[in-house]
Amino acid sequence: MNKSIFLVFASLLLLTLVSAEGLVVSDNTYDFDKTYGVDRLIEITLENTEDFQFYDIHSGDESNLVFSEFDLDANTNITFNATVISDLDFNGIIEITGEYFTEIGSSNITYQVELDYGSGATPCDLEIIKGDSVNWTNLDSSKIFRITNYDTTDLIYELTAGNSHLIPFDSPQELRYQVKWLGTPFTPVCSINVLDDTGLVHSNKYDASLDLNIEVNYEDTSLEATFLQTSYEIEFNTNEDDIFSIRNTGVNIAKAIHLESDWISFTKNDFDLAPGQSTNVGYTISPLVMTTDETNITHIKNLTIEGNFGTLTQEIEVFIPYKRISTDFYNGTFDIETITSFFELFCSVYPDEDICERTQIIIGNGSGNFNITAESWMEFLDIYALDRSAEQNYRNAQQESNDVFDNRLSNLDSTMINLSSGVLETNENSLSILDSNGFILFIVLFFMVVGGGFFVWFRFGKKEKNINELEGYRDEVMT
């Protein structure tokens, strides 16, 4: 009995662990090159892992991949050909989708979606049944959120701070939306898939995924470029405008024609030319000269034209007449002409940079009017201007040297203080010794003086006394 119950529960557990996956593509990664204008056939094996039939199976992205619609019975598979038609590089996921018959019935459930500026929409994707509702709640206490239709950009609802809004969905549809604050989305593209309660329905969870990575190659063609002028003399802090023409002389399209050169910006780039087609390209030469040594010489700049025709190269000669350029820009102060030149030329070459969008740049033939705020200039210095790493390294090294010197000076001061303390202590000890031994020294000196006196007296005084006694004795004998 116990064994039978165990087998029943084990069977139920296994059933709960088995989950269907809907439509599945075997070996779903396709990575290859494709020739421009030539379609590419691929073979796909698709399996229906469900116990029900899928109808009208088709590509979810017919701009890249197409095939004829078909049905697929339950628990069967099919191998079919699909056509890659894209003439642009592509690396992404393409869904293969189908519909199935259901009699779900209405549920009338309300789904809660919380909106938070830091975490976005929770949950972001929902699959509901016709008749269900979605209630969005703005968790922020100060921001007004705008829920917008991603495909049409229409406003769905403006949700004030701390409030909620309920929307019922009464018909099958697939809604993609984003939530914005101050015009900027803070959520990814979220989706609400509303299923019909009966009949043919589509569920995203049953879609198959195909990973497609294609690189489009272009058949070779030939190109020629004609320049009106290739040698220029341009004064410091000025520009030169000119044009040249490009013609496709081959039989195939010239694709993504790319122009590149130092000091030169172009009015168009990365464009196509059909066979026999030509176009004029305007360009501006803006010499990026920042030192006097870069003047009074001719600079050679290579203008390259690249594409499916090889690489064309044209030398452009630019002579810069002598100009003494202040170096104050480099030593911590600011020379207005040099700063203006540097910033103006930079933004003429890279006008799309954020720092340049806050400036007014008007460039004409050989002259330019330039206006910039101090805030923009300082930001420019921080982001784009001179590479100040060497200067910073120098400053760091100088600071390190100063620190070492200060440490040595501090150590020297400490040594002197210790030495002075030692000398003072020695003097104090000497004085102490003198104080304690002064009396003994006095006694020694006293005895030395007294002893010396006795010695002199004994040596000379006693001798004189003896002489006197002898003379007295002699006088007595004579008398």
Condensed to tens digits (0 to 9), the pLDDT of residues 320-329 reads: 999 988 655 4
The CA distance from 138 to 154, in Å, is 19
C-alpha pair distances (Å), 159 with each of 116, 148, 322: 12, 11, 64
Kindly state the percentage of the chain with pLDDT values over 90: 53
Q: pLDDT: is 465 or 220 the higher one?
A: 220
Q: How far apart are CA 71 and CA 267, in angstroms?
A: 52
Q: Which tens digits make up the pLDDT trace of 127-144?
A: 999 999 999 999 998 999
> Residue ranges of the domains in the chain?
21-100+199-217, 110-197, 219-325, 329-385
- Beta bridge mates, 164: 137
Which fold does the domain 21-100+199-217 belong to in CATH? Immunoglobulin-like (2.60.40)
Q: 120: left (phi > 0), else alpha (psi -120 to 50), else beta?
A: left
Which tokens hold the place of 380?
Answer: 């420019």
Residue whose tokens read 């330019």 = 368
What is the third-level CATH fold of 219-325?
Immunoglobulin-like (2.60.40)
* CB atoms closer than 10 angstroms to residue 75: 13
- Span 400-415, average pLDDT: 60
**Would you state the pLDDT for residue 277?**
96
Per-residue confidence (pLDDT) for residue 399, from 0 to 100: 65
In angstroms, the CA 197 to CA 107 distance is 9
Question: Which CATH code fits 110-197?
Answer: 2.60.40.420
3-state secondary structure of 200: strand
pLDDT tens per residue across span 66-105: 999 999 999 999 999 999 998 889 999 999 999 999 887 8
Residue 72, phi then psi, degrees to nearest 5: -140, 120
> Is the pTM for the entire model greater than 0.85?
no
Range with the lowest mean pLDDT among 51-55, 182-186, 313-317, 386-390? 386-390
Determine the Cα–Cα distance for residues 15 and 173; give it in Å rounded to an integer: 32
Predicted pLDDT at 448: 61
Question: Residue 410's pLDDT is what?
Answer: 62
Q: What is the pLDDT of residue 27?
A: 87
Average pLDDT value for residue range 221-242 = 94
334, pLDDT greater than 70: no
Domain 110-197 identical in fold to domain 219-325: yes
Greater model confidence, 52 or 355? 52
Q: What is the pLDDT of residue 242?
A: 96
What average pLDDT does range 438-463 have in this prediction? 53
Residue 363: per-residue pLDDT = 35
474 pLDDT more than 90 = no
Please report the beta strands in 293-398, taking only residues with DSSP state E, as ranges in sequence order: 297-307, 310-320, 360-363, 368-371
d(CA 144, CA 162): 9
pLDDT of 149 higher than 60: yes
- 361-384 pLDDT, tens digit per residue, is 433 333 344 445 555 555 555 554
Angstrom distance (rounded) from CA 188 to CA 177: 9
472: its two tokens:
């007295």
What is the pLDDT of the chain when averaged over all its residues? 78
